[in-house]
Amino acid sequence: MGALELETYRKCWLASSRFRRHNTEVAAERERERAIGLAEKEARAAIEKAMRTGKGFPRSASRSGHSSSSRSSIEDVDDDQDESLRRISDAERYPPNGGLVAARLLFSRIFDRRPALLDALRSGAPAILIDVGDALMLDRVAMVWRSILFESTTRFMDLARDPVKRREDLDALYLVVKEPPKSTSKISLDTTALSMLAFALPLIAISPLARSHLPEAVNAAATDRIDFPPLDATTIVRTIRIVTGKTCPQAIADGTLTHTSIADLDIAVRFDRTPQECLAELRRLNVAKIAKKKSRELTLSQLHGLGEAREWAEEAISDIEAWKRGEISWSAVPSGVALNGPAGCGKTTFAAVFAASAGLNFVSATLAKWQSSGEAHLGHLLRAMRQDFEAARARAPSCLFIDEIDSFPDRAGVTHSHRDYVIEVVNALLAEIDGIAGREGVVIMGASNDIGRCDPALLRAGRLERIVQIGLPDIPELEKMFRVRLGADLVDEDILPIAELAAGMTGADVERVVKDARRAARRDGGRSLVFDDLQKALVEDDDRPHELRWRTCVHEAAHILVDVIHFGPQNVFARVAKMQGRFGMSARRNNGYSSGTTEEYRKRLEVILAGRTAEQLICGSASHGAGGVPGSDLDSATGLACAMVGSFGLAGPTPLTYLGPARDAGTFLAFAEIRTAVNHELSEAARSCALLLKENRSVLEAIARRLAAHGRIDGAQVATLLAEARRDGLPSGRGGAEP
């Protein structure tokens, strides 16, 4: 413990001790008054009884004697009470406050760690800026800092409220700002600060963030910038010791009170409790916060499956912190980004978590929200838009999140009768973003399921200049997402099979599955979550006829067999289970790097078409299971073939003709020559795949039987079956029969 913190500790301890002694004396006095009152009551009762019986007054209870004795005792007690009150100050007549004690200790520790700064404060004229991000802590610090750093006779001037004084009447300047000042008051405050800095007096400025809350002159004059430290176990233990007067019997383990706040200290740490009782109450409050914590209240480190979005966030937060320290200008901070990805992949959650991690106030908006304000006239919409942008500026540092940003379409493509209305709305948004781009402390973030619909001007440099793609999480990322949401449950269980079953799901789906599993456990006697709860939340009962289940096994067996033959056995698996409208799947946990050649893409077509081809080979005909919906085998194969023909330049009669990006490949089918070329690629892939499956029919059927029996097979097991078949020299086209 440093010298200043030790001095603060002793003062707080003495004040707390005086209060506890005073409180004991007051309680004793009340007990004596109660005893005297009881004695008087008994004496009156005895006198009344004597009068009724005619025996006269009892000597021991004479009215005058007792009254004299009572008055003498009360006067003596009053004298003692007055003497006790004279020993403590008015402030010490109130119970010690845990939050204030902790704030005093933490504030003292700041300057103990900077002894040169404390010397400069007492002999020079430093300008010290202290950022206190927590609003409750800021309130406490504003109450205690002067008594810690200065003598009681020090003469201060509050730059925000006091009239300008002569230098000879001042010893120090200070400024405490809790909210970003309005533009008019900010100019006035800046003028005052400029004039007072010439006095060469120590200046202490306290705010949530100096860069956005304090005058430019104060920021420019700063000799030291300090981030106020968070609550820690040592401070909590010392606070309990001071308030209760007793030592904590045990240390607080790291992480036990992670969510403890200043308000929790006010609630839990009281002079009438033992240290054990204080700690128990703090733990109760901590557990209650964790239990009430929303599933989406995550930290950046707990976000998985977001790819480059997380990398962007980490870089942006690093730059924002550098800006807060005054090391870089806001123009160097990446302050405009567009998130693009399918629904449910976590774009909104990411935006909120990023803002919290970066220490930014979060302002959320959508075109629908703006349009629904007032009577939905254009003027009302534009006013609502302007108000949200103004709110973001006023609350800087902040993040303005605009969801469904593709609601602002490309102006060039708008041809309907309301074209002028739409263009004016888009123009207004562009003007607001341009207006905010030159203002410090505001990050603009948009989110879309299809960023290609947005006006190109919205995505240019200086606006939402960085497009971050967020796709569906792969299996390793899904496993991490389940771990985060499961918390302390199933820590010793292997949940990779659950992640495999969840392939193709989004973060929102993972959240729903865990929620359903927990609900099932609660309804079953309120027990703890088990592995089967998760599996049942994912997999439905398969009540299909045996023939249909076998067809599914054949279909998935073909996918994994061709995949292993072409791309190897690593990180590939197949499963058969009824869930979310599908009955099976085959997938790779990591596709690795792609050479991008025609040969490789044709092999991928064979893998995609293998299921349908195997149904024809083993079951006699194909079923509709390979198509019918977006994302089906036929949809994927057709899209890939279109990209090969019209985007990648790898196939077709005119491979050098570029028709558009691969994501728009489906639109190429509007051209007859493209349809012909695509059909040729698909037919050749199906023919080649059929030959491959016929050569390995025995292995195909062995894989299908394994799936029927166990529901899962991986690439290594498939490779073993292939090796055994080649070693045994089984003839092509022969193999086991349907089980």
What is the token pair recorded at 675?
């349809």
- 3-state SS record for 492-542: CCCCHHHHHHCCCCCHHHHHHHHHHHHHHHHHCCCCCCCHHHHHHHHCECC
Give every CB contact of residue 512 below 8 A, 6+ residues apart in sequence. Answer: none
Residues 6+ positions from 159 with CB-CB distance below 8 Å:
173, 174, 175, 189, 192, 193, 196
CB contact at 8 A, 665 and 646? yes
Beta bridge partners of 226: 130
User: Quick one: which H or E segment has residue 261?
Assistant: none
Cβ neighbours for 570, distance < 8 A, ≥ 6 positions apart: 715
Q: Report, as ranges of residue numbers, the positions in the chain whose pLDDT lies below 70.
A: 54-92, 183-184, 253-256, 290-297, 375-376, 414-415, 417, 435-439, 580-581, 589-593, 730-739
Residue 712: strand, helix, or coil: strand
Which H helix or E strand runs over 714?
Answer: strand 712-714
Residues with Cβ within 8 Å of residue 102, at least 6 apart in sequence: 140, 231, 235, 236, 239, 262, 265
Cβ pair 469, 440 in contact under 8 A: no
- DSSP H or E segment with residue 337: strand 336-340
List the structure tokens of 703: 């894989």
User: Cα separation of 570 and 714, whole Å?
Assistant: 9
> Parallel, antiparallel, or unpaired: how do β-strands 336-340 and 224-227 relate?
unpaired
Helical axes 3-53 vs 98-112, angle rounded to 10°: 160
Token couple for 382:
């534009």
What tens digit of pLDDT does each residue of 521-547 get?
A: 999 888 889 998 988 888 877 778 888
User: 397: cis peptide before it, omega within 30°?
Assistant: yes
Token output for 486: 């499961």
Q: 541: Cβ–Cβ under 8 A, 6 or more apart, which residues?
A: 578
Which tens digits make up the pLDDT trace of 121-176?
Answer: 888 899 999 999 888 999 999 999 999 999 989 999 999 888 888 989 999 999 99
Helices (H), 167-253: 183-197, 210-213, 216-221, 233-244
Burial of 162 (0-12, 13-18, 19+ CB in 10 A): middle
β 361-366/203-207 pair status: unpaired
Give yes or no for a contact between 8 and 105, defined as CB atoms under 8 angstroms apart. yes
Q: Are 418 and 372 in contact (CB under 8 A)?
A: no
Give the pairing type, strands 572-579 and 712-714: antiparallel
Bridge partner list, 363: 400
Environment class of 375 (CB within 10 Å of its CB; exposed 0-12, middle 13-18, buried 19+): exposed
The tokens of 656 are what?
């050098």
SS3 state at 573: strand
The span from the CA of 576 to the CA of 16, in Å, is 69
Burial class (CB in 10 A: 0-12, 13-18, 19+), 251: exposed
Bridge partners, residue 331, by sequence: none
pTM: 0.64
Q: What is the pLDDT of residues 483-524, one digit of tens each?
A: 988 888 888 889 888 888 887 788 888 888 999 999 999 998
pLDDT of residue 69: 40
pLDDT in the model for residue 59: 54
pLDDT at 588: 80
Identify the three-state secondary structure at position 445: strand
CA distance 316 to 65: 85
- Partners of residue 582 on adjacent β-strands: 579
The structure tokens listed for 237 are 């233990």
Q: Is the dihedral of CA 231, 237, 238, 244 positive or negative?
A: positive
- Contact criterion met (CB below 8 Å) for 222 and 326: yes
Give the helix/strand (H/E) hosting 625. none
Residues 6 or more apart whose Cβ sits within 8 Å of residue 226? 110, 114, 128, 129, 130, 131
